[in-house]
């Protein structure tokens, strides 16, 4: 996948391509073969991914064993930082993190399996609406979900001021059970998507066979679920990895509950004076190791077993028509889940933003729009919000431009050793917590050698934007692998046969086919970046705080009502941008573009 169509051709190949008779110079007979460097798409992406991901993450993890290499100590080789990460408070935080990760993954699996079966295999009323709720939960930042719970149930919170006694539930929420509950509910969309992807290929044959032999619907379900073991294990591993790498809940609910988590311990190691890069890197190694253990357990459970059920004889699955009583039960179950997953945090945020003097010594339950009027008239709202909107749009556009070639490289056969290495780096980066990557950016771009060569971007908007791009690229490039894998090479070959180059072929053939998916990648990246917290907290310029930092500052100053009002306004702004993008695509994109991948 190197250069242009005729670049790098030997004379014999050029003769065959042009039909002319060309005599090769005699010196060519004995010259050494030219070294074919990995230029073109592979080379460019190797440089981009190497600088964005491999360099900062690799250097940060390396500082724990070779601190002198980065001017962080006197030892060339040492294991003292890893030993410190495996002792004392850091070990306690690691044990809590593993407990929460396993508990949240199990809870997410228990909720996602019936949710996927109900929405994918039955004719439950409002199926699309419920699926929209899953996507809304996926895009909601974890720290906003946790803060919504806190605003309702915290001491002197909304419910306490309303005269309700929730002391017993406070003890549950501010502890391991509450942290597992919030993280587990937040992990349901990941498990749901993994299970939903496996259900269509299962068909209905096994259910029909079980029913033919006298099994009722519950017994038939017990036959089907074990066949989904790969998807179930994958769901467990994904949610476990997402939970232990999450910073939002660790910095809010878990921190306020005095329940230490490793991601917050890592932040304290690099966010406080003196900076302890060695300890932070040691904690980073423990988090990466936990993810590796989860992936190893998944692979070990699948070893020696076959789950091949998709073949040419697989019957398409048929949605089960629920009886009225079953419809009522399904709707009640779905309503209960989304009430807990989305209703409680949304109710907490809106009610707290309307409550007068929340977070102050003044008591009472007076609802008012004064908080919105106050924050709208202050520059501390619109300046950070406009700043974050601009950075999110830039990040989403850059990630969209990089995700397409990255996914193309991962799906193209014969990409060679460099392509395989890039695949490994992108896959590993998905499992690395974003706060680990952000700490790596602090380490690399603040080295004296960077300033000596004139690269002084530490503490600037440029570095924050680059870190946003690096954090979003692995997941978004993976999202596009499926659509790009389905793009047949013959489409591009036909375009090139008619005399257009690679770039024009992509613009006229591939982009229309992929436009719907590219639009969703832009929206997903924009939504995740606008309210992003861990990277922002470590890398934001002191004079230009993003909106997530503006929210955090208000909450730290006990302006709970004002901070929550900023949260609500930010989410409304996010929804407005998403609606404009989707409306613009519907109005401006040609009809043929919109029909690709659309349901019939």
Q: Are residues 248 and 294 in the same domain?
A: yes
Q: Are residues 378 and 282 in the same domain?
A: no
| Residue 317, pLDDT above cutoff 80 | no
Q: 191 vs 21, 99, 105, 195, 399, CA distance in Å?
A: 62, 18, 8, 6, 24
Highest averaged pLDDT of the listed ranges 274-278, 339-343, 480-484, 579-583:
339-343
The answer to whether residue 56 is domain-embedded is: no
Of the pLDDT bands very low, low, confident and very high (cuts 50, 70, 90), residue 277 is confident
The answer to whether residue 4 is domain-embedded is: no
| Structure tokens given for 233 | 């294990």
* Per-residue model confidence (pLDDT) at position 45: 78
* Per-residue model confidence (pLDDT) at position 9: 35
Which residue would you say has higher pLDDT here, 445 or 420?
Answer: 445
What does the pLDDT look like over 213-265, one tens digit per residue? 555 555 555 666 666 677 777 778 888 888 888 888 998 889 888 888 888 88
**Nearest of 141, 181, 144, 574 to residue 349 by alpha carbon:** 144
What CATH number corresponds to the domain at position 422?
1.10.3720.10
What does the pLDDT look like over 508-541, one tens digit per residue? 666 677 777 788 888 888 988 998 888 998 889 9
Total domain count, the chain: 2
Q: Are residues 238 and 158 in the same domain?
A: yes
Q: Are residues 293 and 421 in the same domain?
A: no
Q: Are residues 104 and 237 in the same domain?
A: yes
Q: Given its phi and psi angles, is residue 203 left (phi above 0), alpha (psi -120 to 50 degrees) or beta?
A: left
Judge contact between 571 and 594, C-beta under 8 A: no
| Structure tokens given for 448 | 């004296």
Q: Are residues 339 and 374 in the same domain?
A: no
* Per-residue model confidence (pLDDT) at position 393: 93
Which residue would you say has higher pLDDT here, 13 or 234?
Answer: 234
| Residue 500, pLDDT above cutoff 60 | yes
Residue 369 and residue 356: Cα distance in Å, rounded? 9
The answer to whether residue 5 is domain-embedded is: no
Q: Are residues 416 and 303 in the same domain?
A: no
User: Backbone phi, then psi, for 454, in 5-degree steps?
Assistant: 90, 15
pTM: 0.76
Average pLDDT, the chain: 77
* Per-residue model confidence (pLDDT) at position 237: 82
Question: Could you say which of 354, 389, 408 is where a domain stops?
Answer: 354
Of the pLDDT bands very low, low, confident and very high (cuts 50, 70, 90), residue 334 is very high
Share above pLDDT 70 across residues of the chain, in percent, rounded to a whole number: 72
The answer to whether residue 45 is domain-embedded is: no
Q: List residues bridging with 320 in a β-sheet.
A: 122
Which residue would you say has higher pLDDT here, 30 or 179?
Answer: 179
Question: Could you say which of 293, 326, 354 is where a domain stops?
Answer: 354
Of the pLDDT bands very low, low, confident and very high (cuts 50, 70, 90), residue 312 is very low
| Residue 179, pLDDT above cutoff 90 | yes
| Residue 414, pLDDT above cutoff 60 | no
Q: Are residues 512 and 558 in the same domain?
A: yes
Q: Are residues 332 and 417 in the same domain?
A: no
Which residue would you say has higher pLDDT here, 33 or 244?
Answer: 244
Of the pLDDT bands very low, low, confident and very high (cuts 50, 70, 90), residue 51 is confident
The answer to whether residue 54 is domain-embedded is: no
* Per-residue model confidence (pLDDT) at position 587: 83
The answer to whether residue 402 is domain-embedded is: yes
Residue 93 and residue 100: Cα distance in Å, rounded? 10
* CA trace torsion 320, 326, 327, 328 (10° rounding): -170
Question: Could you say which of 297, 323, 354 is where a domain stops?
Answer: 354
The answer to whether residue 474 is domain-embedded is: yes
Residue 391 and residue 376: Cα distance in Å, rounded? 21
The answer to whether residue 303 is domain-embedded is: yes
* Per-residue model confidence (pLDDT) at position 413: 59
Q: Are residues 350 and 373 in the same domain?
A: no
Lowest model confidence (mean pLDDT) among 186-190, 339-343, 358-362 = 358-362
* Per-residue model confidence (pLDDT) at position 39: 54
Residue with tokens 């942290």: 179
Of the pLDDT bands very low, low, confident and very high (cuts 50, 70, 90), residue 191 is confident
Q: Are residues 175 and 257 in the same domain?
A: yes
Q: Are residues 372 and 505 in the same domain?
A: yes
Q: What domain range includes position 481?
A: 368-600
């Amino acid at each position: 996948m190197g250069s242009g169509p005729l670049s790098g051709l030997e004379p014999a190949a050029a003769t065959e391509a042009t039909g002319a008779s060309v005599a090769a110079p005699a010196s060519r007979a004995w010259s050494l073969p030219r070294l074919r460097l990995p230029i073109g798409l592979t080379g460019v992406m190797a440089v981009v991914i190497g600088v964005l991901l491999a360099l900062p993450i690799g250097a940060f993890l390396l500082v724990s064993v070779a601190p002198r290499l980065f001017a962080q100590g006197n030892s060339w080789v040492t294991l003292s930082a890893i030993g410190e990460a495996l002792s004392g408070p850091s070990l306690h935080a690691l044990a809590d993190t593993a407990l929460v990760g396993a508990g949240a993954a199990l809870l997410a699996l228990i909720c996602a399996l019936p949710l996927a079966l109900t929405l994918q295999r039955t004719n439950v009323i409002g199926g699309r609406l419920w699926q929209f709720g899953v996507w809304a939960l996926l895009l909601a930042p974890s720290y906003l979900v946790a803060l919504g719970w806190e605003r309702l149930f915290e001491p002197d919170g909304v419910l306490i001021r309303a005269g309700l006694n929730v002391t017993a539930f406070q003890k549950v929420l501010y502890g391991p059970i509450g942290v597992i509950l919030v993280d587990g509910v937040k992990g349901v969309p990941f498990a749901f998507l993994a299970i939903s992807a496996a259900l269509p290929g299962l068909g209905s044959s096994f259910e029909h066979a079980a029913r033919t032999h006298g099994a009722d619907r519950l017994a038939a379900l017990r036959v089907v679920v074990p066949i989904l073991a790969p998807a179930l294990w994958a769901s467990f591993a994904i949610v476990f990895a997402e939970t232990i790498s999450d910073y939002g809940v660790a910095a809010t609910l878990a921190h306020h509950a005095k329940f230490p988590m490793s991601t917050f311990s890592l932040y304290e190691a690099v966010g406080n004076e003196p900076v302890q890069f060695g300890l932070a890197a040691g904690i980073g190694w423990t988090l990466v190791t936990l993810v590796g253990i989860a992936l190893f357990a998944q692979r070990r459970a699948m070893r020696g077993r076959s789950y091949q059920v998709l073949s040419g004889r697989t019957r398409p699955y048929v949605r089960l028509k629920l009886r009225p009583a079953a419809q009522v039960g399904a709707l009640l179950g779905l309503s209960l889940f989304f009430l807990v997953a989305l209703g409680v945090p949304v109710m907490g945020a809106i009610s707290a933003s309307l409550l007068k003097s929340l977070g102050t010594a003044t008591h009472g339950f007076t609802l008012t729009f004064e908080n919105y009027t106050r924050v709208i008239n202050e520059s501390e709202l619109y300046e950070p919000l406009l700043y974050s909107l601009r950075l999110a749009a830039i990040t989403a556009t850059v990630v969209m431009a990089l995700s397409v070639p990255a996914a193309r490289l991962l799906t193209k056969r014969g990409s060679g050793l460099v392509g395989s290495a890039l695949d490994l780096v992108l896959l590993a980066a998905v499992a690395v917590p974003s706060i680990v990557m952000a700490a790596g950016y602090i380490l690399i771009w603040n080295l004296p050698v960077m300033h000596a060569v004139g690269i002084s971007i530490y503490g600037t908007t440029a570095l924050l934007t680059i870190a946003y791009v690096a954090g979003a690229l692995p997941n978004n490039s993976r999202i596009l692998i499926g659509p790009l894998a389905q793009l047949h090479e013959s489409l591009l070959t036909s375009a090139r046969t008619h005399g257009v180059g690679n770039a024009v072929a992509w613009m006229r053939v591939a982009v229309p086919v992929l436009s719907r998916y590219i639009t969703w990648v832009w929206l997903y990246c924009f939504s995740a970046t606008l309210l992003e917290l861990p990277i922002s907290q470590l890398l934001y310029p002191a004079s230009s705080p993003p909106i997530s930092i503006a929210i955090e500052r208000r909450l730290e100053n006990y302006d709970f009502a004002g901070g929550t009002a900023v949260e609500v306004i930010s989410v409304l702004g996010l929804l407005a941008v998403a609606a404009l993008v989707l409306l613009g695509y519907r109005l401006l994109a040609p009809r043929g573009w919109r029909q690709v991948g659309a349901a019939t």
